[in-house]
Amino acid sequence: MKTMASLFFAALLCVALVSGSTAAQAQDSKLLAPKPTIKQPGLAANAQDAKLLNPKEDIEFFDAKEMMMKWENFAQDKGWQAILKDAKARGFKLGKDAKKMWGAQGKAVIPDDDGTISAKDKKVPVIFCVFDLEKNEKGESCSMLWSKQGDKWYKAYIVIPKGKGIEDGQEWYVDEKNNVQEAHSWRKCFFKKMPKICGPFCGGAIAPCALAGGATVTAAGIGAIASPAVFLGCMAAACGGCVTIVAIACAAP
């Protein structure tokens, strides 16, 4: 597992490398990463609860070798096999770029649908993994998700059209009977909630991490993110466990 210190250093390095280009493309940084107030509805009620939004001791991040082991383990799961079969039929396959695989596991309190979290809530075992597959001949991108909180699972894949971002993609998940069905949830939920919930901890990392994830950044805002795993890995380095719990909270049909 990567240590939190090494991940945070990586985030600082990422910010340092892209800060010059970000500043040139955006005159007003507030447009890129507005910082919400921690007492707003949908966030932690107090400082003690706020720590639950960004767990640092109970969340461990997988390295590249561990992510490949997870991929091999997931391949034994019938539900994963169903969505992987679909993805392969569309011309996608897993590459070897370690930056395009990201995941974490541990114990955490998961925010409710409004993003509210409390120390009174019980911590549950969690895991979240995302794999960005190689583009197909059409130039489309594909990301596969594996998520678990307690006894709740979510396995899905997202196809992103050429030249577009994840929010413009189509998402499918596998149900309890291993049938593949269309979903509408994770990608839109995550990119709506993450800046609000994690912003107080690492709002300044959103723009450079979006750049790392293939997006364009201008004074008008952040463009389409084409590589979710790269974006999440970069954000997790800055935010710690916050990105993980938001990703898991949004993982539902």
Which one has a higher pLDDT value, 55 or 192? 192
Which one has a higher pLDDT value, 149 or 221? 149
pLDDT at 70 over 50: yes
What's phi and psi for 126, nearest 5 deg?
-135, 155
pLDDT at 183 over 80: yes
Computed from CA positions of residues 84, 91, 104, 124, in that sequence, does the dihedral angle turn out positive or negative?
negative
Which one has a higher pLDDT value, 201 or 46? 201
Which residues are bridge partners to 109 per DSSP? none
- CA distances from residue 78 to 70, 83, 177, 181 in whole angstroms, order as listed: 15, 9, 9, 15
pLDDT at 174 over 90: yes
Which one has a higher pLDDT value, 206 or 154? 154
What integer pLDDT is reported at residue 51 of this predicted model?
67
* Confidence (pTM): 0.77
Which has the closest alpha carbon to 232: 75, 62, 90?
Answer: 62
Task: At 229, list the tokens.
Answer: 């795993």
Q: Could you give the CA distance from residue 166 to residue 161 in angstroms, rounded to a whole number? A: 9
Angle at 206 between CA 202 and CA 212, to 5 degrees: 125
Q: How many CB atoms lie within 10 A of CB 143?
A: 26
- CA distances from residue 236 to 10, 61, 79, 214, 221 in whole angstroms, order as listed: 10, 9, 27, 17, 21
What integer pLDDT is reported at residue 253 of this predicted model?
61
CB contact at 8 A, 235 and 207: no
What integer pLDDT is reported at residue 52 of this predicted model?
72
Which one has a higher pLDDT value, 155 or 58? 155
What integer pLDDT is reported at residue 42 of this predicted model?
40
What integer pLDDT is reported at residue 210 of this predicted model?
85
Q: Could you give the CA distance from residue 133 to residue 227 in angstroms, rounded to a whole number? A: 9
Which residues are bridge partners to 153 per DSSP? 148
pLDDT tens digits, 108-127: 888 776 667 766 778 899 99
What's phi and psi for 46, nearest 5 deg?
-155, 180
What integer pLDDT is reported at residue 37 of this predicted model?
30
- SS3 readout for 161-185: CCCCCHHHCEEEEECCCCCEEEECC
What integer pLDDT is reported at residue 202 of this predicted model?
78
- Please provide the DSSP assignment of 83-130 as one string: HHHHHHHTT-B--S-GGGEEEEEEEEPPP-TT----TTSPPEEEEEEE
Which one has a higher pLDDT value, 119 or 23? 119
Task: At 205, list the tokens.
Answer: 């990392």
What integer pLDDT is reported at residue 221 of this predicted model?
56
What integer pLDDT is reported at residue 116 of this predicted model?
74
pLDDT tens digits, 76-119: 999 999 999 999 999 999 998 988 999 999 998 887 766 677 66
Q: Could you give the CA distance from residue 60 to residue 126 in angstroms, rounded to a whole number? A: 10
What integer pLDDT is reported at residue 48 of this predicted model?
52
Which one has a higher pLDDT value, 78 or 36? 78
Task: At 184, list the tokens.
Answer: 């509408």
Q: Could you give the CA distance from residue 228 to residue 232 in angstroms, rounded to a whole number? A: 6
Q: Which residues contact 69 (CB under 8 A, 6 or more apart)?
A: none
pLDDT tens digits, 188-241: 888 888 888 887 777 788 888 888 888 765 555 556 788 889 999 988 888 778
Half-sphere exposure of 43 (CA within 13 A, CB side): 20
What integer pLDDT is reported at residue 193 of this predicted model?
84
